[in-house]
Chains A and B, each alone.
Chain A
Amino acid sequence: MARYGMVIDTRKCVGCYACRVSCQMQNELPVEESYIQFYEKETGVFPNVKNEFVPVQCQHCEDAPCESVCPTKATYTTKDGIVLVDAEKCIGCKYCMVACHYGARTQDHKTGVVEKCRFCAELVAEGKQPACVTTCISNARIFGDLDDPNSEVSKAIVKWNAQPLRADLGSAKIYYVR
């Protein structure tokens, strides 16, 4: 049993959208739908300016609020810590979309099912990496077992003091280096 998580090093992200496109392909999303949103954060005044791209997707929260509000238990957490949606149980009530602090959920316009980043659970089960990690051109994304202190992801969290996006909103499984 593992507890899967990710590090996103925004100091390396150049905002190239390769993760978005490869995620859309892996999950066969229509061109208008994406599980990854990009936020640009500009600080300072010309010419002392910094810019940061923050790719945001489902943070796979511990005690996920989307899970607790779901009336049909469609949203659940696997034993490996991945938050998933059971499409059979989802009734499209959108409670989870409201509950999500990160706006990470989107509704399939055809089926009405609410979906979001799934850490590419099938790929991970085969021992592979999520599509956004494989394709990242600057190696800004690291994926692995948070419970294993020797995993790349755990070492990166310690080395760079990576933090959840909003630690005040509870613990999540994506850590950001900023």
Chain B
Amino acid sequence: MIETIDKRTESAQVFRVFAEIYKTPTLEIWKEITQNDLLPKLRDAVQELYQIKTTEWKDVQPDSYDQLISSYMATIGKAAIPVESLYKPWTQDETCTLAFAREKGYLQGDSALHIRFILNEMQISIPSEYEGTPDHLAILLELLAYFIEHAPKSFTAEFIGDHFDWLDNFAFKLESNTGQTFYLEITRVLIATMKAFRSTYL
């Protein structure tokens, strides 16, 4: 029992670290990467928890903070933003007669409204830079981590089913749109982790 609780906490921690990586890079995270071996630690954690073998991340790890920023700007900062709404039809509401009601590729879709609803219900406030995109991957992962620790398993399972089914498309976009590999590799591991977590613990 204690072991299970520990593993839940540890899984939550893994997703929290992933969440950090998808946020706009800061010097703080860069220090964690360079001085605290964040990436090898994350790698060891997913291997230990879910037996996921990853490639050597040294190859994809940016050499400098500037390179991390430029990798971010070339990928999830601009060309392939990790926001769920972009990968799903904008709305299920049949009364909507906007030009793109059923299209993908637009912000503030139904999934954003749903996350906003959850955040309101739970009285969780998020940083202002995410208010327009509450279904940003960083927010989703933090919520997931929170649910893993506090919510019933069925709720967490439903949450994963509802809000993480677009990651393959996101990875595909990272792959086809950009020459940067750092965020792509991270995302591949995230997808594998998510899958393993679901089948192992839920």
Contacts and interface: CB of A to CB of B under 8 A. Distances in A.
Nearest to A110: B102
Contacts of B98: 25
Contacts of A24: 99
A26 B96 CA distance: 8
Residues of B in contact with A, size category: under 10
A28 interface: yes
Interface in A113-167: none
B5 to A, nearest CB: 44
Contact of B97 (A25, A30, A31): A25
A21 B99 contact: yes
Interface string B63-97: 00000000000000000000000000000001011
Interface in A23-50: 24-26, 28-31
B89 to A, nearest CB: 10
- Per CB-CB distance, the 10 closest pairs between chain A and chain B, nearest first, are A25-B97, A28-B101, A25-B99, A28-B102, A26-B97, A30-B102, A25-B98, A30-B103, A21-B99, A24-B99
Interface in B151-199: none
Interface residues of A, number: 8
Contact of B96 (A21, A28, A30): A28
Nearest to B97: A25
Nearest to B99: A25
Nearest to A131: B97
A28 B96 CA distance: 8
Contact of A31 (B94, B96, B103): B103
B37 to A, nearest CB: 47
Contacts of B97: 25-26, 28
A31 B102 CA distance: 10
Nearest to B96: A28
Contacts of B100: 31
A110 to B, nearest CB: 9
Nearest to B102: A28
A29 to B, nearest CB: 8
Quick one: which of B96, B98, B102 has the most chain A CB within 10 A?
B102
Nearest to B101: A28
A125 to B, nearest CB: 15
Contacts of A28: 94, 96-97, 101-102
6 contacts: A25-B97, A25-B98, A26-B97, A28-B94, A28-B96, A31-B99
Contacts of B103: 30-31
A16 to B, nearest CB: 16
